[in-house]
Structure 1
Amino acid sequence: MAKTVSSDSESTVAGSVRDYLVWSIFNLSYMNFGCLGLVALIFSIKSRDRKIVEDLEGARYFAAKARTFNIAAAVLSAIVFIIFIALLAAGMFKVAKTVQLQQKYKLFGKG
């Protein structure tokens, strides 16, 4: 279904559909949990393509999918990062406790 009539209001509406391309590239580069960043990037590119051919309904659909995958990638990556920091902190406490015990009982040392 091609549109033959083009007006300023249609081009304004087409420009207002967000495709989340920059966010998808960021998630692909830094927060690619389970390839969700790649999937978000693909949907962002599809949304931009639909916007260029003035299929606004398709552009909105793919933009919504891109947004969903970007949110999922960001949230899951943040959770993994927080878990990693928590495990690292717990490991540091364990190492500090082990060093204290070694000094107290002079384990593994000369003397």
Structure 2
Amino acid sequence: MYTEKEVKMGAPQGSVPLTSTVINMQTETPGRDYVVWSLFNTLFLNWFCLGFVAFAYSVKSRDRKMVGDVLGAQSYASTAKCLNVWALALGILLTIGVIVLLSTRLQFGFRLYF
């Protein structure tokens, strides 16, 4: 969103005609791009490569933000956020599941074949 502001510049009245300048100012700040969260999910909770895909969308969102495409940046950031939520939830659940599975197998004396 751009708004127009008019600024009057010039000499005192009567001597020189007044000139006006229009300044376009961006009132809406671009949203978050979730790069740090995506990097965390990529490095630590990368089950099914969701963290890596979220990181790619986060970088695309940051690129769009730098170019000035606010709607494109918001679209990529929304996708990155959704992928980060899924990567975090699945990563936590699967990590807990593996820990529980390994601890129960060790508790009952089963051999591990890895």
- TM-score, normalised via structure 2 length: 0.71
Q: Aligned-residue CA RMSD in angstroms?
A: 1.7
Identify the structure with the greater strand proportion: 2
In structure 2, runs of 5+ residues without a counterpart are: 1-22
**Aligned counterpart, 1:50:** 64
Q: Hey, what's the Cα distance between the residues in 2 that align with 1:48 and 1:93? A: 48
Secondary structure of the residue aligned to 1:89 is: helix
Match of 1:9 in 2: 27
What is the CA–CA distance in structure 1 between the aligned matches of 2:49 and 2:24, rounded to whole Å?
38
Which runs of structure 1 show a deviation greater than 3 angstroms over 4 or more consecutive aligned residues?
none
**Structure 1-normalised TM-score?**
0.73
Runs (5+) with no aligned partner, structure 1: 97-111
Q: Which letter does structure 1 place at the counterpart of 2:37?
A: W
State the number of aligned residues.
88
Question: Is it true that 1:30 corresponds to 2:48 in the alignment?
Answer: no
Percent identity between the two aligned chains: 40
Q: Distance in 1 between matches of 2:97 and 2:75?
A: 33
Distance (Å, rounded) in 2 between the aligned partners of 1:20 and 1:48: 9
Aligned-partner residue type, residue 86 of structure 2: A
Would the alpha carbon gap of residues 49 and 6 (structure 1) be closer, same or farther in structure 2, given more than 3 Å must change? Answer: farther
Deviation at 1:92, TM superposition (A): 2.4
SS of corresponding position for 1:7: strand
Q: What is the distance in 2 between the residues matched to 1:31 and 1:51?
A: 26
Could you say which structure has the higher helix fraction?
Answer: 1
Structure ID, larger Rg: 2
